[in-house]
Amino acid sequence: MKPLAFFLCAAAAAVAQQPYDLLLKGGHVIDPKNGIDAIRDVAVKDGRIAAVAASIPTPGARRVVDASSLYVTPGLVDIHVHAFAGSMGREYTGEFCVRPDGFTFRSGVTTVVDAGSSGWRNFGEFRDQIINRSRTRVLAMLNIVGSGMGGRGDVEQNTKDMEPARTAEVAKRNSDVVVGVKIAHYAGPEWIAVDRAIEAGKLAGLPVMVDFATFRPERPFEDLVLKRLRPGDIYTHTYLSAVPMLDDSGKLLPYLFEAQKRGVIFDVGHGGGSFSFRQAVPAVKQGFLPDSISTDLHVQSMNAGMKDMLNVMSKFLNMGVTLQDVILRSTWNPAREIHREELGHLSVGSPADIAVLRLESGSFGFLDASARRLRGNRKLIAELTVRDGRVVWDLNGLASEDWDRPRTR
C-alpha cells in the first residue's frame, strides 16, 4: 500500500474508532419523520446524530444515559412564542415577553419561533439582544407592522406601517433566522392587514401566520381559511372560542376540514386566552386535529392554563390523541411548516436536538383559557434535553455520575 493511501486509511479508521460523545440507551424512540416507534439506542457525536440502532455498544461512548422506560424524541419545535421585549415603549411584548432559555429546555423544547414580536423596524435589535445570545434556537416571524407587536394604543392598527416590501427585504436579509410573516390583533373591518402580510410572504417566499384577533362579519373567518390564506399559510389559535367551529348541535362545521385539505395549517397557539376545551374536545373527537402544537408562550400564559409545551401536549393526550400523533405535531410537522426540514427528526447527520420524556400516570388536572378543567391520567415530563449534542436540562441527573463515585470523565 502506498504511504499516502495507508495514511488516509489509518486516519479514517482512527476517526471511526473515536467514541460517541453521548449515548442514550434503551429508550422508546418516536421519530415520526423516519417512521421509528420502537426501542432504540441513539448516539451523538460532534453535535450531530451519529447513529440510531437497536443496539450500540456502550464502550463506544464517553457518556451513557439509561433511557429505558423513557421516550426519546426529536427536540420539540414551538412555533408560537414571544421572546422580544423591544424598546418601543411599554408594549405587550415588553411587559410579558420571556427570555427563551429560561422556559424552553425544561420542557424539551430546543427550537422556538417568535411570532411577530418585532417588525422590520426593530428586528435588528431582537436579533442582537435575543437571537444571537440564546442557547435555544430562536427563529422569527416578522410582524407586518414595522414596529412589531404592541398591546396599547394603535401600534398594530397602523396600516401605514404595514409595508410588505420592507418586511420582505428584512426577511430576505435575515433568511437564516426569519421563517415567516405574522399579522395579529388587527381590529378593523377590512382585509388590509391580512392582504399585506400575504403580499410580504409572496415577496419573501415565506408562509404567513394569522392571529385573526377581532372577528368581524365584514371579513368572515371562513373566507380567511378558504379564500385568503394560501396552502402552507398558518392560522394560529385554532381552538379559540370565537372561531366558528361547531353548529348548534355540536357538530364540526365541514369547511374546517375543507380548509385543512386545501393546505391551510391549523396551529394550536394556546396562549392566555386562545384555547377552549368546549371547542377542542368535540373537535378532536370528530377528527379535527391541529397540524401543529404550540404554546403562545408569554408571562401571562405560562402562569395560567397554558404553562408550558409539555402541558399543552398532555392536554391532547388526555383528549384521546395518540402519543405518536402528539409528537408528530410537536416536532416534524412544525419544522416542515416553517421550511426547516433539517429540524424535528433524528436522522443521522441532523442536529442533535433531543427530548427525553417521561410519561407519568396519575390524577391530573388541565386548565383552558377560561380556567375550565379537564381531568386526565397522563402527563409528559422532560427528564433530559439535548441541544446540538449538549445536555442543557437534566431533571434527575440521568447524564451525571453519583457524587461519591470516582470520576470517569
| 74: amino acid identity, one letter | P
Residue 12: what are its φ and ψ, rounded to 5°?
-65, -40
318 in any annotated domain: yes
- Per-residue pLDDT, 149: 86
pTM: 0.93
305 assigned to some structural domain: yes
105 falls within a domain: yes
Report the candidate in 122, 193, 135 with the shortest Cα–Cα distance to residue 164. Answer: 193
Closest CA to 55 of 74, 39, 33, 76: 39
Nearest to 145 by CA among 127, 157, 128: 157
* pLDDT for the residue 17: 57
Residue 242 placed within a domain: yes
Task: Using CA atoms of 221, 225, 226, 232 in order, give the dihedral in degrees to the nearest 10.
Answer: 170
- Cβ pair 21, 350 in contact under 8 A: no
CA distance 95 to 106: 22
Asked whether residue 359 is assigned to any structural domain, the reply reads no
Q: Is 386 helix (H, G, I), strand (E, B) or coil?
A: strand
409 vs 395: CA distance, rounded Å: 20
Residue 400 resides in a domain: no
Strand partners for 24:
42, 65
Tally the domains of the chain. Answer: 1
State the Cα–Cα distance between residues 192 and 159, nearest whole angstrom: 8
The pLDDT value given to residue 191: 96
Cα 122 to Cα 18, 91, 119, 229, distances in angstroms: 46, 13, 6, 26
Q: Where in the sequence is the domain holding 282, given as residue range(s)?
A: 75-337
**Could you tell me if residue 259 is inside a domain?**
yes
pLDDT at 86: 64
215: CATH:
3.20.20.140
For residue 139, give the DSSP letter: E
Domain membership of residue 44 (yes or no) is no
pLDDT tens sequence for the chain (409 residues): 455 454 444 334 434 557 999 999 999 999 999 999 999 999 999 999 999 999 999 998 999 999 999 999 999 999 999 999 765 554 444 567 889 999 999 999 999 999 999 999 999 999 999 999 999 999 999 999 998 986 455 888 888 999 999 999 999 999 999 999 999 988 999 999 999 999 999 999 999 999 998 899 999 999 999 999 999 999 999 999 999 999 999 999 999 999 999 999 999 999 999 999 999 999 999 999 999 999 999 988 888 999 999 999 999 999 999 999 999 999 999 999 999 999 999 999 999 999 999 999 999 999 999 999 999 999 999 999 999 999 999 999 999 999 998 776 6
